[in-house]
Chains A and B, each alone.
Chain A
Amino acid sequence: MQAQTLYEKLWSSHVVHVEDDGTALIYIDRHLVHEVTSPQAFEGLKLAGRKPWRVDSIVATADHNTPTDHWEMGIQDPVSRQQVETLDSNIREVGALAYFPFKDERQGIVHVIGPENGATLPGMTVVCGDSHTSTHGAFACLAHGIGTSEVEHVMATQCLLQKKSKTMLVRVDGQLGAGVTAKDVVLAIIGRIGTAGGTGYAIEFGGSAIRSLSMEGRMTICNMAIEAGARAGLVAVDDQTVAYLKDRPFSPRGEQWDRAVAYWRTLHSDDGAVFDAVVELNGAAIKPQVTWGTSPEMVAAIDGIVPDPVLEKDPVKREGMERALQYMGLNPRTPINAIAIDKVFIGSCTNSRIEDLRAAAFVARGRRKADNVKLVLVVPGSGLVKRQAEAEGLDKIFIAAGFEWREPGCSMCLAMNADRLEPGERCASTSNRNFEGRQGAGGRTHLVSPAMAAAAAIAGRFADVRELA
């Protein structure tokens, strides 16, 4: 048989039907649902008198609108509350394999709870009305973000209409330096290929540097595949994948576990498989990264400077840079480590897992936030992450450093709840998007790793975590 890429294996094992023009019906194994992109889909289903095809494929949670403090007071914002209550009643009516509502001990960001409950398994197709569904590709599943019409389509038919993507291999070899994390790797990748570099592709991340990452780190990388324009990111199955999934609540058990693992072991690109594009990076050369603009591709190393648009030849790009610098309130050629910050956000589906919190706590231990930093929010990705962190005493380290330890949710990643930036405020954030207004109208976001975010909180400006340790 011809050598296949991982993407081709996953694709061909899910095709139900193909139209003449190549549009295919793809079977969906897991449907993750949250409150923001589902109400119109449930409503559409009801209006058309349609029943969901397979309720036990659905895992649901409320995450975007939920507050991160004073849970005893419920959700104060009436519009947010209505959206969460709408999800409650829809799930009550329709059913689901699992639902982790507001305040449930396993509630959390949808892309954190899927994997930690074993609801995301290798070889699956996973969809969610959320672009960061690409996260789940770390488990060698074909995971796509979809729009609300598609949410309804999957509920009604268990299928998605899709065109086959092109394949791209991003290979990162070499050993990552101390203090350099998955977040820095993926920001470096996006800096290299651009935010549209992966458009039309499914990106498989490979190479020794990727292999060396934990599952958490791989999720961070795949999470931001969408920021490189790719609808899906993938990492092949290896021992770490299997070890991570053992004994998770929805993982298979007994004889089925053995059968599943035997199959999962086939989920990698074959030797000699051909990709439509290959990009190679030297992992050893990657430094801690900080974005300086309003697009994740506008990124520099911590020892670098804000670039000068004058040097950019492409006029559309130059204008984009000028606009970004104006919005960000930055001058060209400012050293990155001279940029002072007002707030810090450690959280989001990119960086709110236990390993991320450990990395931040490692830096924060025995130190205190700088006086010019008004707020440092630490928001665990889920109730389970929160409890694990507390069991390890990480919450105490954060609180001693003057950080705030919150309840799980999306929080200031997109500021749909009360956590947000005020106009002009500058934030070191471990989330994934630095778009204008993303963390609050007029807010200025710099994307960094959890360790770098903690370092910035301590220094009051961006600082090289490698010099702190």
Chain B
Amino acid sequence: MDRANVDTDAIIPKQFLKSIKRSGFGPNLFDEWRYLDVGQPGQDNSGRPRNPDFVLNQARYQGAQILLARDNFGCGSSREHAPWALEDFGFRVIIGPSFADIFFNNCFKNGLLPIKLDAVEVDALFAQCLGANGYRLSVDLETQTITRPDGKVIPFNVDPFRRECLLNGWDDIGLTLRHADKIREFEARRRIEQPWLFA
């Protein structure tokens, strides 16, 4: 996706936010760019006219699991529908030079791995990918490396805590509740120091 500042309104337009479910957003990922008509929630998307110029509609990118992105990907709203849609579509990894904060966080909560790389590395990946049909990268979270088809290995960083959570599929809430006593203690102190917060 060779453009900067791809925002969450583009990733999943608002009419699809009316759903009260977590799944089923994949067919409407990038709806306004992907289709030539205006999509509505609950509609059958199979017969809608597709925009042939849009990257994800090109034959060579069918089944892609890695999304190459530019600066500030995922900017805009906090809607978690954005990572839900990306994940539902089949993406597992997004590689880009920078991400918007809330979006970056939301990815980890949904088994999507956002990887920040130097802009120079991302440029090279874009160039290679455009130049070779069937271009494949492999991403290993365990060793925190990306391997290019030419054999070059690119290391990347992930917070150790987030990495563990992703690898083990841990539930954040369960983890936090291990500290329930500490939370209760904190709360009790706060109740005494700033009672007006507990009106």
Interface residues of A (CB under 8 A from B): 16-17, 19-23, 25, 27, 29, 36-37, 39-40, 43, 48, 50, 53-54, 56, 64-65, 77, 79-80, 82-83, 86, 97, 121, 123-124, 129-131, 133, 145-150, 152-153, 156-159, 161, 163, 195-196, 199-200, 229-231, 250-252, 256-257, 259-260, 263, 295, 316-317, 319-320, 323, 414-416, 433, 435-438, 441-442
Chain A residues in 8 Å Cβ range of B17: 36, 64, 416
In the complex, are the beta carbons of A229 and B101 less than 8 A apart? yes
In the complex, are the beta carbons of A21 and B20 less than 8 A apart? no
In the complex, are the beta carbons of B161 and A19 less than 8 A apart? yes
Chain A residue nearest in CB terms to B196: A252
CB-based closest 8 A-B pairs? A252-B196, A39-B20, A149-B109, A147-B106, A147-B80, A145-B78, A148-B80, A196-B72
Indicate with 1 or 0, residue by residue over B2-19, a CB within 8 angstroms of chain A CB atoms. Answer: 011101011001110111
B130 at the interface (CB under 8 A from A): no
Chain B residues in 8 Å Cβ range of A121: 196-197
Give the docked Cα–Cα distance between A104 and B198 (Å): 24
Extra contacts, 6 of them, besides A50-B173, A323-B3 (Cβ < 8 A), are: A16-B182, A20-B160, A64-B17, A146-B102, A150-B105, A231-B102
In the complex, are the beta carbons of B3 and A83 less than 8 A apart? no
B154 at the interface (CB under 8 A from A): no
B32 at the interface (CB under 8 A from A): yes
- Contact partner, B179, options A16, A21, A149, A250, Cβ 8 Å: A16
A233 to chain B, nearest CB (A): 13
B22 at the interface (CB under 8 A from A): yes
On whether A157 and B3 interact (CB within 8 A), knowing A79-B18, A416-B18, the answer reads: no
B87 to chain A, nearest CB (A): 12
Chain B residues in 8 Å Cβ range of A56: 198-199
B42 at the interface (CB under 8 A from A): yes
In the complex, are the beta carbons of A16 and B183 less than 8 A apart? yes
Chain B residues in 8 Å Cβ range of A250: 199
- Contact partner, B80, options A20, A149, A323, A414, Cβ 8 Å: A149
B90 at the interface (CB under 8 A from A): no
Chain A residue nearest in CB terms to B162: A23
On whether A199 and B15 interact (CB within 8 A), knowing A37-B80, A157-B183, A435-B10, the answer reads: no
In the complex, are the beta carbons of A124 and B197 less than 8 A apart? yes
Chain B residue nearest in CB terms to A22: B159
Give the docked Cα–Cα distance between A195 and B70 (Å): 14
12 A-B contact pairs sorted by A residue (CB < 8 Å):
A17-B182, A22-B159, A27-B190, A39-B20, A79-B18, A145-B102, A148-B80, A149-B106, A156-B173, A157-B180, A416-B17, A436-B9
- Contact partner, B42, options A79, A129, A320, Cβ 8 Å: A79
B64 to chain A, nearest CB (A): 21
Chain A residue nearest in CB terms to B72: A196
Chain A residues in 8 Å Cβ range of B98: 196, 199
A51 to chain B, nearest CB (A): 11
In the complex, are the beta carbons of B159 and A147 less than 8 A apart? no
Chain A residues in 8 Å Cβ range of B167: none
Interface size class of B (residues with CB under 8 A): 35 or more
Give the docked Cα–Cα distance between A468 and B77 (Å): 35
In the complex, are the beta carbons of B159 and A21 less than 8 A apart? yes
Indicate with 1 or 0, residue by residue over B165-199, a CB within 8 angstroms of chain A CB atoms. Answer: 00000001100110110110011001000111111
On whether A161 and B102 interact (CB within 8 A), knowing A36-B17, A56-B198, A199-B72, the answer reads: no
Chain A residues in 8 Å Cβ range of B173: 48, 50, 152-153, 156-157
Give the docked Cα–Cα distance between A316 and B71 (Å): 9
B82 to chain A, nearest CB (A): 9
Chain B residues in 8 Å Cβ range of A23: 159, 161-162
In the complex, are the beta carbons of B159 and A433 less than 8 A apart? no
Max count, chain B CB within 10 A of own CB: residue among A147, A230, A295, A319: A147
B89 to chain A, nearest CB (A): 18
In the complex, are the beta carbons of A40 and B21 less than 8 A apart? yes
Give the docked Cα–Cα distance between A90 and B105 (Å): 26
Give the docked Cα–Cα distance between A121 and B190 (Å): 14
- Contact partner, A437, options B9, B109, B186, Cβ 8 Å: B9
Chain B residues in 8 Å Cβ range of A415: 14
In the complex, are the beta carbons of B76 and A131 less than 8 A apart? yes
In the complex, are the beta carbons of B161 and A436 less than 8 A apart? no
A36 to chain B, nearest CB (A): 5
In the complex, are the beta carbons of B38 and A441 less than 8 A apart? yes
Give the docked Cα–Cα distance between A261 and B183 (Å): 26
In the complex, are the beta carbons of A147 and B71 less than 8 A apart? no
Chain B residue nearest in CB terms to A319: B3
B25 to chain A, nearest CB (A): 11
In the complex, are the beta carbons of A147 and B190 less than 8 A apart? no
- Contact partner, B75, options A29, A159, A195, Cβ 8 Å: A195
In the complex, are the beta carbons of A438 and B9 less than 8 A apart? yes
Chain B residues in 8 Å Cβ range of A20: 160-161
In the complex, are the beta carbons of A414 and B14 less than 8 A apart? yes
In the complex, are the beta carbons of A82 and B190 less than 8 A apart? no
- Contact partner, B4, options A48, A65, A317, A433, Cβ 8 Å: A317
Chain A residue nearest in CB terms to B15: A416
B79 at the interface (CB under 8 A from A): yes
Indicate with 1 or 0, residue by residue over B61-73, a CB within 8 angstroms of chain A CB atoms. Answer: 0000000001110
Chain B residue nearest in CB terms to A56: B198
B41 at the interface (CB under 8 A from A): yes
- Contact partner, B14, options A251, A323, A416, Cβ 8 Å: A416
In the complex, are the beta carbons of B4 and A320 less than 8 A apart? yes
A39 to chain B, nearest CB (A): 4
B135 to chain A, nearest CB (A): 20
Max count, chain A CB within 10 A of own CB: residue among B18, B32, B160: B18
In the complex, are the beta carbons of A21 and B176 less than 8 A apart? no
